[in-house]
Amino acid sequence: MPKVGMEPVRRKALVDAALRVIGDQGTLAVTMSDIARRAGVSPALAHHYFGSKEQLLIETVRSLLRQLRDDTVTALNVAPTPREKLSALIRVSFQASQFAPDTVAAWLAFYSEAQRSEDVRRFLVVYARRLRSNLVANLKALCSVDDAERIAEGAAAMIDGLYIRQSLRSAPIGIEASIALTEDYVTSHLDQLHRQGRAK
Amino acid sequence: MPKVGMEPVRRKALVDAALRVIGDQGTLAVTMSDIARRAGVSPALAHHYFGSKEQLLIETVRSLLRQLRDDTVTALNVAPTPREKLSALIRVSFQASQFAPDTVAAWLAFYSEAQRSEDVRRFLVVYARRLRSNLVANLKALCSVDDAERIAEGAAAMIDGLYIRQSLRSAPIGIEASIALTEDYVTSHLDQLHRQGRAK
DNA sequence: TATTTTTGATTGACTCATCAATCAATAAAA
DNA sequence: TTTTATTGATTGATGAGTCAATCAAAAATA
């Protein structure tokens, strides 16, 4: 069995397994055994490569965020105009992979963990800032900085809120409806500024 | 010490203590000992009255929701017109007691727990439905049912989203700003319908 | 009124299970 | 042979839940 060069393979397998287990159980209170079993290795190996559960969890948030960032960069590159970039940002937030019940559950778990772990909190703050600044940057092309910041704040809140409500699975809102609602928010506010002669 | 009729006193003290400890630590993974200590009794007594940790936690969500419901009823009674009732609903959501960091942390923890506990989930679904139906009921007086449902969905999402973002304490949005953003959302959409002649 | 009995309140000590973390041992490649 | 990968076995800590025993108020009885 033992082959050389397994480290990166195992690390990735363990991080992926962690995300799946966390999504499944909807909590960070999963055991190293659960994660290791899902990754097909022994718990001891997980400790060997990550040192501690905390560290594995941190790598897991990091990985989730990296995925989202990469998707965002790609989507932004494809969209030509500021207005289309705004739509792209919204679409990426609700894309299937992000909006799947398991992923939503994992996000929620990380938000909760951020109350305790300064490291996890820092990562989530980075995500919040990035979304906000992407929105502001493109809104600025369409209205004043002040208005851009206000609209960005609202849109970001609406995106996060739709996630939370998705997590309850009571009246599943659906990807399309979520996108429409957020698009509508942005459009409606930009239109309003337009009528008031405050748009660019 | 032992006096008769302590049961209701202890139950309340324990539920209150649970909420405080959960808010403090930002997680439901608190020990019965922590809760009992905060309530000034032994862990055994907590078990005696609630049977299990799960049950104490359920009573705690129930209590949080009851508080919110009572505040909502009061606020709605004071507001005379539908439009003012809408403002009242928004204001209650962000009132100081609900928006305090500890309370926000507790809400988040419960949302996360809802992924596991069907009981907790049910309570949160009730909250979500109640907010939605209160919003719809008053919006219906101002626009069509379809529009009312759409706007209610958006406003509810925005409220929940502002909570989440509050929990990160990165760029604290503040009570006033949160209320303004949500008010703005409702006003702006109602105005839009008005211009399109779709308002009542 | 004085005494006994009953009952609710309360806890310390204990059990049992779980889990993160460690480590010594093994196996395969280099 | 040295290094890397891997695990089974073990440990130490923690925490939920149980239980038998204690204490004092209240109720019943004399």
Q: What is the mean pLDDT of chain A?
A: 94
Q: How far apart are CA A46 and CA B7, in angstroms?
A: 47
Confidence of residue B172 (pLDDT cuts 50, 70, 90): confident
A58-195 CATH fold: Tetracycline Repressor; domain 2 (1.10.357)
Amino acid, single-letter form, for residue B87: S
From chain A, the residues in CB contact with B161 under 8 A are: 156-164
Q: What single string gives the DSSP state of each residue in B151-194? A: HHHHHHHHHHHHHHHHHHTSS---HHHHHHHHHHHHHHHHHHHH
pLDDT in tens, A99-153: 999 999 999 999 999 998 899 999 999 999 999 999 999 999 999 999 999 999 9
B44 beta carbon < 7 A from strand C? Answer: yes
Whether B168 and A125 lie within 8 Å, measured CB to CB? yes
Q: How far apart are CA A155 and CA A84, in angstroms?
A: 15
Every domain of chain B and the residues it spans: 60-195
Q: What's the pLDDT at B1?
A: 39
Identify the bridge partners of residue A199 per DSSP, sorted by sequence position. A143
Q: How far is CA B82 from the centre of its chain?
A: 22
From chain B, the residues in CB contact with A159 under 8 A are: 161
Residue B23 near residue B106, CB atoms below 8 Å:
yes
A22 beta carbon < 7 A from strand C? Answer: no
B4 CA, D29 C1': Å apart:
22
Q: How far apart are CA A156 and CA A182, in angstroms?
A: 9
Residue A24 near residue A101, CB atoms below 8 Å:
no
Residue B127's nearest CA partner among B96, B173, B163 is B163
Q: How far apart are CA A169 and CA A181, in angstroms?
A: 18
DSSP B28: S
A90 CA, D23 C1': Å apart:
65
Q: What's the pLDDT at B4?
A: 65
With distances taken from each CA to the C1' atom of nucleotide D25, the closest residue turns out to be B3
* Backbone angles phi and psi of A99, in degrees to 5: -95, 0
Does the pLDDT value for residue B2 go beyond 50?
A: no
With distances taken from each CA to the C1' atom of nucleotide C22, the closest residue turns out to be A44
* Overall average pLDDT of the B44-73 stretch: 95
Whether B173 and A167 lie within 8 Å, measured CB to CB? no
Q: Which CATH superfamily is domain B60-195 in?
A: Tetracycline Repressor, domain 2 (1.10.357.10)
